[in-house]
Amino acid sequence: MGKLCLVCNCPISPFMTFGRQPIANRFLDATSFEGEYYFDMDVCFCPNCSMFQLANTPDPEEMFNDSYAFYTSSSRFMANHFKEFARYVLEDVVDDKIDPFVVEIGCNDGTMLKNFKSAGIRHLGIEPSRNVASVAISQGINTRVDFFSPNLARSLVSDYGVADVILATNVICHIPDVKSVFEAVSILLADDGVFIFEEPYLKDVIDKTTYDQIYDEHTFLFSINSINYLSKLFTLELIDVLPQSTHGGSMRYVLARQGKRTVTDRVFSQLVAEVNSGLTSPHTYDKFKRNCEIKRTELLSTLKNIKSAGKSIVGYAATSKSTTITNYCSITTEYLDCIFDTTPLKIGRYSPGTHIPVRDHVHFRNYNPDYVLLFAYNHAAEIMEKERDYTLNGGHWISCIPGLEIQK
């Protein structure tokens, strides 16, 4: 049977495949290589509602469980970003509200909500991965370990009342049943409340060919047009859109109940700008497929040339995104000796699918490789500052997306 769009139920078909992919964040020990879970990562664009989506998604329990290896607080830059986000919410959104109630969907280790806690704001985080949620709980952040759903929203309304602000960052695009999230929001949101979320922006991915943003957890890559369509299904309205530099280019979407708040001119102008740039046209995606193939060929040829000159290469930052690159390009220990990373849950383990050892970043300087393949271009400034000595001593950085500049 053909595929149906997860948003509008229109028949859709994949425009490209990234082949067999593992769970992007499941770093393995050497005894677990056998029986590793894989799925076919085919991607579709819906010409009706403009939603960019995976054709198949692994079961959410495969991805968001007690061994979920991503901690928001691992990046100082992201922690600062969330502090600034919280300031925007408190000063620009709930400014004059008495005793506002703020809910965050997917609060991870509480990096965002701790800003609300310290401001004495009533808050609640919803987080399905117990290991990261327990960090939030240990810091006194009010947290519920659960998936966000209409049933949960109803129980939250009876336990706490409606929410003045519902927040989410890098999480809504993870949820295949995105319509149930929007339904839950429409249950939980106060009449004059706002729903604010930010996610990697499709236009940045297409313009920069950052195809590594496509992995199991990213069921969707949103655009202003697709969010506009989705909002209307739940009588919500897009009232503002604010571009962000995070994750190689993200968009902050601000929604309210229809007719309750003023819609900024930015929403209208950006909806039109997306259409004019071809983002809602299927041809753009055929071109994107070709661009991905070109980037793969270029990266492999760079790595091959370095290896045939007898030089060493390591990876830097075992990001979830790197799983797409290493598996799509078949980058194994044939090219990379290891990947250096800061995350305790990844160190000592092996990368999903390609089984490259992950080592503690503290050993990077002594290792002193000839070349470093940087997977975390979104954290480049922070990493370049940390590894300045390596660069000053003549070390070489390679971009995992050829042509994408590394901000040194």
Residues in contact with ligand TMP, shown as a per-residue x/- string from 65 to 84 under the rule CB under 6 A: -----x---xx---------
User: End-to-end distance of the chain based on CA atoms, in angstroms?
Assistant: 49
- CA angle at residue 324 from 285 to 126, to 5 degrees? 95
How many residues touch Zn ion under the rule CB under 5 A: the total is 8
Site size with ligand TMP, rule: CB under 6 A: 19
C-beta separation of 72 from 343 below 8 A: no
Does 230 sit near Zn ion (CB under 5 A)? no
Residue in 174, 208, 257, 379 binding ligand TMP, rule: CB under 6 A: 379
Instruction: Choose between 5 and 214: whose C-beta lies nearer to Zn ion.
Output: 5
Q: Which is nearer to Zn ion, 144 or 218 (CB)?
A: 218
**Do the strands 313-316 and 371-374 form a parallel or antiparallel pair, or are they unpaired?**
parallel
Per rule CB under 6 A, is residue 386 in the interface with ligand TMP? yes
Residues 360-375: b if buried by 16+ CB within 10 A, e if exposed: ebeebeeeebebbbbb
CB-nearer residue toward Zn ion: 46 or 267: 46
What string of DSSP letters covers 211-243? GGG-STT-SEEB-HHHHHHHHHHTTEEEEEEEE
Distance between CA atoms of residues 288 and 205, nearest Å: 9
Give the per-residue contact string, 20-59, with ligand TMP (x = CB under 6 A; - = no): ----------------------------------------
Residue at token pair 């922006």: 201
Residue 337, Ramachandran bin (φ over 0: left; ψ between -120 and 50: alpha; else beta): alpha
Q: Which of 225, 232, 279, 280 is nearest to 255 (CA)?
A: 232
Q: CB 47 → ligand TMP: shortest distance, Å?
A: 30
Q: Decide: is 13 part of the binding site for Zn ion (CB under 5 A).
A: no
Question: Residue 233 CB, nearest distance to Zn ion (Å)?
Answer: 11
Q: Which of 165, 374, 383, 401 binds ligand TMP (CB under 6 A)?
A: 383
111 lies in the site for ligand TMP, by CB under 6 A: no
User: Which one of ligand TMP, Zn ion, none interacts with residue 372, CB within 5 to 8 A by kind?
Assistant: none
CB of 12 to Zn ion, least distance (A): 7
**Nearest residue to 109 (alpha-carbon basis) of 127, 122, 82:** 127
Q: Which does 277 bind (CB under 5 to 8 A by kind): ligand TMP, Zn ion, none?
A: none
Tell me if residue 169 falls in helix, strand or coil: strand
Residue 101 C-beta: closest distance to ligand TMP, Å: 29
Candidates 123-131, 176-184, 210-218, 312-320: pick the segment binding ligand TMP (CB under 6 A). 312-320
The contacts found for 135-139 with CB under 8 angstroms, 24 or more apart, are 135/71, 135/73, 135/109, 135/110, 136/107, 136/108, 136/109, 136/110, 137/110, 139/110, 139/114
Least gap, CB of 230 to Zn ion (angstroms)? 9
Comparing CB distances to Zn ion, the nearer of 225 and 323 is 225
Q: From Zn ion, ligand TMP, none, which one binds at residue 5 (CB under 5 to 8 Å depending on kind)?
A: Zn ion
Q: How far is the CB of 50 from ligand TMP (least distance, A)?
A: 25
Among 23, 41, 46, 184, binds Zn ion (CB under 5 A): 46
Q: Which is nearer to Zn ion, 8 or 345 (CB)?
A: 8
DSSP 5-46: -TTT--EE-EEEEEEEEE-TT--B-GGGSTT--EEEEEEEE-
Stretch that binds ligand TMP, among 182-190, 283-291, 382-390, 394-402 (CB under 6 A): 382-390
Minimum CB distance to ligand TMP smaller for 78 or for 94: 78
- 């290493």: which residue's tokens? 326
Instruction: State whether residue 385 is helix, strand or coil.
Output: helix
**Footprint of ligand TMP on residues 318-377 (CB under 6 A)?**
318-321, 341-343, 346, 361, 376
* 255, containing H or E segment: strand 250-257
The one-letter code for the residue type at 342 is T
Least CB distance to ligand TMP at residue 382 (A) = 5
Core vs surface per residue 112-134: b (16+ CB within 10 A) or e: bbbbbbeeebbbbbbbbbebbbe
By the rule CB under 6 A, 378 interacts with ligand TMP: yes
Contact footprint for Zn ion (CB under 5 A):
5, 7-8, 10, 46, 48-49, 51
Contact footprint for ligand TMP (CB under 6 A):
70, 74-75, 317-321, 341-343, 346, 361, 376, 378-379, 382-383, 386
